[in-house]
Amino acid sequence: MSLHSTFAVPQTSNQRVPARSPAGQLAQSEGNTFAKGSDGTELMVAAVTATGAAGVVGWKRTRQTKARYHAMRLRAFENELGVQEPLGFWDPLGLSADGNVERFKRRRETEIKHGRISMLATMGYMTPEFTGKFPGYLSPSQDLRFADIPNGLGAISKVPLAGWIQIFLYAAFCEVSAMRTRSDQPGDLGFNPPLLATKDPEVLNRRRASELANGRLAMMAIMGMFLQDGLTGSAWGDWASYTDSPLRAFESELGVQAPVGFWDPLGLAKDGDVDTFKRRRETELKHGRISMLAAMGYITPEVAGKFPGMLSPTQGISFQDVPNGLKALSVVPAAGWFQILQVVTVRRCSSVCL
């Protein structure tokens, strides 16, 4: 007896199947295998099996539905400004996974604001280096000239209290003005500067996208300037001025070459351990030598051809029968691998003894 005869099948436009009660189906002929059990065990097993199968199907459908729903929520932002090649809509932290439009707009406006501030800050770092500083006094009462203010983070300790109050009041004025003039478009504060404002939608979108991209670049740039300024004393400071660097113990070693200098992105040498550094340097040289031989081994047979004659006369394998690359691993006989192992062992023992 099939499961279709046990449970009612949903009706479709071309099919009508009457539902049968379990009691009526148990009264069928003796050939019905599920009806043979006197205690209805077989019927219960069938019911549990069908319920489990339906649950698995439902679980899979639920996952597929959730995945489609998640993709649909993200598509709501695929055409927003800032979706640019090659990354497209890039949201590694999943901040837009909930599909909340209001929250997305708030974060977009925050991103634009931080980008604008970072662009101004970046220009503030660069301009005094090229054009110099204003003449005259920053604070006549304290006999403080503009020329006395250093660039970068060093200016924080030089600006007087009245200057910080002026900066704070100007920032508050900008925030209050933005509350009064902003529109539904993130970043649109009603400011239409000459030569930049336009009524052409295509040109406007291109300029907004450029502002967003340049703002993102400026945020990364200003953070790099802060880091270099904090470590060397200047945004353009020489890294040699970073006297507290643990890498200075190895900056005169072989391999320290322009333009990267002493490059240790994983910080393996930051502990300054000389013995560990030498061991890793020897490992690096060994791997480099093996890789150079391996690279030549790949290239030479393609250009110069292979040796004539037999590689293994006993097995009838000639050098021409051995393919290039990884396929050679399955053709070299066991005796050949044994010879390779012996050569490696001799080289290792020789390096230890010498």
Number of alpha carbons in the 13 Å side-chain half-sphere of residue 286: 10
Report the CATH number at residue 156: 1.10.3460.10
Q: How far apart are CA 114 and CA 11, in angstroms?
A: 60
Average pLDDT over residues 219-227: 90
- Assign 3 a pLDDT band (cuts: 50, 70, 90): very low
Asked if residue 310 lies in contact with residue 319, where contact means CB atoms within 8 angstroms, the answer is: yes
Is 172 domain-assigned?
yes
Is 194 found in the same domain as 138?
Answer: yes
Q: What share of the chain is helix, strand, coil (3-state, %, to 5)?
A: 60, 5, 35
- Assign 1 a pLDDT band (cuts: 50, 70, 90): very low
Is 209 domain-assigned?
yes
Give pLDDT tens digits for 248-280.
556 667 777 777 777 777 878 777 788 888 888
Is 108 domain-assigned?
yes
DSSP 14: T
Give pLDDT tens digits for 300-349.
888 888 889 988 888 888 888 888 888 888 888 888 889 889 998 988 88
Is 216 found in the same domain as 173?
Answer: yes
Give pLDDT tens digits for 126-174.
888 888 888 998 888 888 888 888 888 888 888 888 889 999 999 999 8
Number of alpha carbons in the 13 Å side-chain half-sphere of residue 47: 8
Average pLDDT over residues 43-59: 54
- Assign 58 a pLDDT band (cuts: 50, 70, 90): low
**pLDDT at residue 244 above 70?**
no
Residue found by looking up tokens 């200047």 in the block: 234
Domain boundary pick from 183, 217, 244: 244
Nearest to 319 by CA among 329, 309, 327: 309
Asked if residue 158 lies in contact with residue 235, where contact means CB atoms within 8 angstroms, the answer is: no
Is 67 found in the same domain as 110?
Answer: no
CA distances from 157 to 134, 227, 253, 352 (A): 19, 17, 38, 59
Domain boundary pick from 225, 244, 263: 244
Is 181 found in the same domain as 130?
Answer: yes
Burial group, residue 187, by CB count within 10 angstroms (0-12, 13-18, 19+): buried
Is 237 found in the same domain as 162?
Answer: yes
Centre a 10 Å sphere on the Cβ of residue 3 and count the other Cβ atoms it contains. 13
Is 280 found in the same domain as 207?
Answer: no
Is 222 domain-assigned?
yes
Is 137 found in the same domain as 54?
Answer: no
Is 90 domain-assigned?
no
Residue found by looking up tokens 């598509």 in the block: 75
**pLDDT at residue 36 above 50?**
no
Alpha helices in 83-155 (DSSP H): 101-131
Is 43 domain-assigned?
yes
Is 230 found in the same domain as 119?
Answer: yes
What stretches of the chain adopt beta strand conformation (E)? Answer: 137-139, 144-145, 310-312, 317-318
Number of domains forming the structure of the chain: 3
The model carries a pTM of 0.49
Domain boundary pick from 244, 274, 295: 244
Average pLDDT value over all residues in the chain: 76
Nearest to 191 by CA among 180, 200, 202: 180
Is 130 found in the same domain as 212?
Answer: yes
The domain containing residue 304 runs over which residues?
A: 255-353
Is 200 domain-assigned?
yes
Is 220 found in the same domain as 146?
Answer: yes
Cα R_g (the chain), whole angstroms: 37
Give pLDDT tens digits for 181-207.
777 778 787 777 777 777 888 888 888
pLDDT, position 8: 42
- State which H helix or E strand residue 291 sits in: helix 274-304
Backbone angles phi, psi at 255, to 5 degrees: 95, -10
Nearest to 77 by CA among 95, 99, 103: 99
Is 267 found in the same domain as 230?
Answer: no
Is 149 domain-assigned?
yes
Q: How far apart are CA 246 and CA 270, in angstroms?
A: 5
Is 48 found in the same domain as 20?
Answer: yes
pLDDT, position 12: 44
CA distances from 215 to 85, 127, 190 (A): 16, 18, 19
Nearest to 256 by CA among 279, 276, 234, 240: 240
